[in-house]
Structure 1
Amino acid sequence: MKAVFPIASCLFGLYLLCMNDYAHALIDEEQDAKASSISAFQAKPPIPSNAERSDSYKKILFVGNSFSFYNNGIHNQLGSLIRAQGEWERGENRMRLLTLSGGHIHEHLDGLANQLKHDPRPWQAVVLQGHSNEPISKRKQDRFDESLSKAIQIIKERQLTPILFMTWGYKGEPDMAQALRHAYEAQAAKHQVAVVPVGLAFQRAEKVFPDINLFVKDVLGMSESAGTERRLTYRDDIKHPSAAGTYLAACVFYASLYQRSPEGNVFTAGLKNTDAHKLQTLAWETVSEYFNYR
């Protein structure tokens, strides 16, 4: 069995060194122009090239909410991509979810600490996924910042690798997507941890493949108009992932963690082969450009 932490250290060593400069740049930016437009933010946190390809992330715990557990879960989708490539090793690979519907990071702190303390089987990495708007909501930002710091500390105290799940903006809200990008990248720089750019892939796919629906509507209730047939009504904010959305997220995680393309993978999560291939390709393009993979 490979030594996990030396490999992880090699992978993230350059990333962490570069993050020091990136963090200082972000602090200066926020102090000088905190209210500036998020859409103008262009910095990309670096990560090592694929000279050292990561095969060490075999035991991953995903912490989050419905963005992670919809459609049989991000962990199962990622695991299926790995299995379909013949890379899953029984007894070595393990992926689980620790989720709470509508959950915020602060609501996971006790459960995360308890899980890591008492689970007899070791983990290698923990993915942290916040509530859909807590990183950018004025009302929630401070608590998110404080809670994420505590969660990362809990993970690092167990000598595990924290990874941030950059979530997506609601359907048709590119400004929200950019604000989330800024928020997660700032946290990644502050704590010197990696961030997986799922939100950027969603934003790109909405533009490039408008025929592939990445979202599902949430039911609000029934119409009450007199003299008309009662019909379902839906929430204005369309945010939860469809099967295609969760599949895209899994492809982005596969490409980011293992530094190779999911293109050609025979697992399609029930999507049409053509749609699955489009999302595989888009995931790799997004990740390889973001991390400068070759």
Structure 2
Amino acid sequence: MRYKLLLSVLLVGPIHAQQTSVLFIGNSYTYVNDLPNTLRQLALSLDDTMTVASSAPGGYTLFQHSTYAPTIAAIESQDWDFVVLQEQSQLGALPFDVTTTELGASALVQRIEDNHECTYPVFYMTWGRQDGDAQNCASFPFMCTYDGMQQGLRTNYIALAEWNDSYTAPVGAAWKAVRDAHPTISLYDADGSHPSPAGTYLAACVFYCTLYQESCAGATFNGSIDAGTAAILRSIASSTVLDEPLTWNLDVPNGTSALLDGASVGWNWITLIHNGEGEHLWVCSDGQTSTSSTPTFTFDESATYIITHTYNDPCGNTDTVTLTFNIVLGVDELAAATQTKVFSGLPGVIEIQGARGGETLTLCDAQGRVLQQERLTGTMHRFICGAGLHLWRISDEHGNLRSGAVVVR
């Protein structure tokens, strides 16, 4: 049998809910100018209904929030769609090893998930102070300037989102883009730290684009700023978020994925494995379908078969993956396949016996991603590889293929 696996992936983003609920956990960068309500009104002007709430005592850190009774009560008060997490403005830029930011963030994310597994945590990337942070300048020279502080915030918030399987709302990145391109737009309050009404409006625009993953350019709500400035801020917020969705960890909500967790193969069949607890729909181009998490497809003739897997997770998110199998069944191929043995006898090792020389071995993971390719120059070989299920394919110079799967301890 010839067996060739090619993989392509289509990621499908979240769709609008009938009503979206957002809880903000932060401090004065959240409550000055009422960011939650500004976002609500912006969304409403785009025909999206949103309910908002906040727990934002002045100067509070994420670590303080993690044990603060009103914050805990707010998290547990309902099944939120999104919970926004904002660190104290200076701590968010400092190295993690001198702050409690990591501990506070992870504790809050865990509490959010314990309350409702379908809630998306969103880290609120804030902005550098207008002229840097004089208080921390001596100990941390990068904090002496706006640019240095902003880079620290960007690096840390992206890391927090990645480590905690959360979104980043890149307000600070949009803030920098406005400062660079439109220096006459005043985003700061008189203290050079807190947001002006324009700064809060920009933050609301970034949050809209992050939560809905759509442009806010068409919004008609301008807040208390002039229409021309509002249009500029909406445009920059939209491009900042939507031009780099992977940077802000917006690609697959909560890790939702239709990619395979494993597979097993026989001479004319393949079983595909997905461990998701949601709903599955598998459709093969020859008419076979299945709603099992571990469907088996059998093939009666040589052909190219396309199998599409659509997965709906328990939170209502959808992802689709398409797999293409080029299968050739024949006596010669089956005979050739029996001459080669691919197995794992030792931990972390794949062994090959019976290769004919001059062939190429390709090892893929369960999702079809190529891990390594090796030229087979003799009949026996050993290769070091990671643990897990590996799909293997051996091809010769004539294009003949034989393949299978092996589990490595």
The verdict on a shared fold, with TM-score over 0.5 as the criterion, is yes
Counterparts of 2:162 and 2:114, CA distance in 1: 19
Q: Which residue pairs with 1:123 in the alignment?
A: 80
Q: Which residue pairs with 2:227 in the alignment?
A: 273
User: Aligned to 2:35, which of 74, 84, 88?
Assistant: 74
Aligned residues: 220
Give the SS at the match of 1:132.
coil
Q: How does 1:35-50 map to 2 (within 5 A)?
A: none
Q: How does 1:151-162 map to 2 (within 5 A)?
A: 151-158=108-115, 159=117, 160-162=119-121
Say whether the 8 Å CA contact 1:63–1:99 is kept in structure 2: yes
1:94-114 alpha-carbon deviations (Å, 9 max, x no partner): 111110111111221233222
Structure with bigger helix share is: 1
> Deviation above 6 Å: which 4+ runs of structure 1?
none
Say whether the 8 Å CA contact 2:21–2:51 is kept in structure 1: yes
Say whether the 8 Å CA contact 1:65–1:131 is kept in structure 2: yes
**What is the CA-CA distance between 1:86 and the residue it aligns to?**
2.2
User: Aligned to 2:126, which of 148, 159, 167?
Assistant: 167
Q: How does 1:131-150 map to 2 (within 5 A)?
A: 131-137=88-94, 141-150=98-107
Q: Which residue pairs with 1:200 in the alignment?
A: 173
**What is the CA-CA distance between 1:138 and the residue it aligns to?**
5.1
Counterparts of 1:96 and 1:157, CA distance in 2: 19
Unmatched 5+ stretches in structure 2: 1-9, 132-145, 251-409
RMSD over aligned CA atoms reads: 2.1
**What is the CA-CA distance between 1:186 and the residue it aligns to?**
1.2
- Code of the aligned partner of 1:155: I
Counterparts of 2:128 and 2:63, CA distance in 1: 21
- Code of the aligned partner of 1:129: Q
- Work out whether 1:211 is the aligned partner of 2:198: no
1:136-186 alpha-carbon deviations (Å, 9 max, x no partner): 335984311111111111111112221111111111401111111101111
1:176-217 alpha-carbon deviations (Å, 9 max, x no partner): 111111011111121121111110000110011111100012
Say whether the 8 Å CA contact 2:91–2:99 is kept in structure 1: no
Counterparts of 1:213 and 1:279, CA distance in 2: 11
**What is the CA-CA distance between 1:115 and the residue it aligns to?**
2.2
- Code of the aligned partner of 1:253: F
- Code of the aligned partner of 2:184: D
- Work out whether 1:257 is the aligned partner of 2:211: yes
Q: Which residue pairs with 2:380 in the alignment?
A: none
Q: Which residue pairs with 2:15 in the alignment?
A: 54
Counterparts of 2:53 and 2:22, CA distance in 1: 7
Counterparts of 1:141 and 1:114, CA distance in 2: 29
Larger RCO, structure (CA 8 Å, separation 6 or more): 1
Relative to structure 1, the CA distance from residue 213 to residue 115 in structure 2 (aligned partners, 3 Å threshold; closer, same or farther) is: same
Counterparts of 1:283 and 1:136, CA distance in 2: 21
Q: Which residue pairs with 1:180 in the alignment?
A: 153
**What is the CA-CA distance between 1:246 and the residue it aligns to?**
0.3
Counterparts of 2:235 and 2:96, CA distance in 1: 37
Q: Which residue pairs with 1:190 in the alignment?
A: 163
Q: Which residue pairs with 2:48 in the alignment?
A: 87
Counterparts of 1:192 and 1:247, CA distance in 2: 27
1:90-135 alpha-carbon deviations (Å, 9 max, x no partner): xxx3111110111111221233222233x2x432221000100113
Q: Which residue pairs with 2:266 in the alignment?
A: none
Which structure has the bigger radius of gyration? 2
Counterparts of 2:173 and 2:60, CA distance in 1: 22
Give the SS at the match of 1:145.
helix
Counterparts of 2:52 and 2:97, CA distance in 1: 29
Counterparts of 1:193 and 1:83, CA distance in 2: 25
Q: Which residue pairs with 1:105 in the alignment?
A: 62
Counterparts of 1:250 and 1:176, CA distance in 2: 22
Q: Which residue pairs with 2:362 in the alignment?
A: none
- Code of the aligned partner of 1:65: N
Say whether the 8 Å CA contact 1:134–1:140 is kept in structure 2: no
**What is the CA-CA distance between 1:264 and the residue it aligns to?**
2.7
Q: TM-score, normalised by structure 1?
A: 0.70
Counterparts of 1:147 and 1:87, CA distance in 2: 31
Counterparts of 2:98 and 2:242, CA distance in 1: 30
Say whether the 8 Å CA contact 1:135–1:141 is kept in structure 2: no
Give the SS at the match of 2:100.
helix
Give the SS at the match of 1:287.
helix
Counterparts of 1:128 and 1:211, CA distance in 2: 30
Say whether the 8 Å CA contact 1:61–1:125 is kept in structure 2: yes
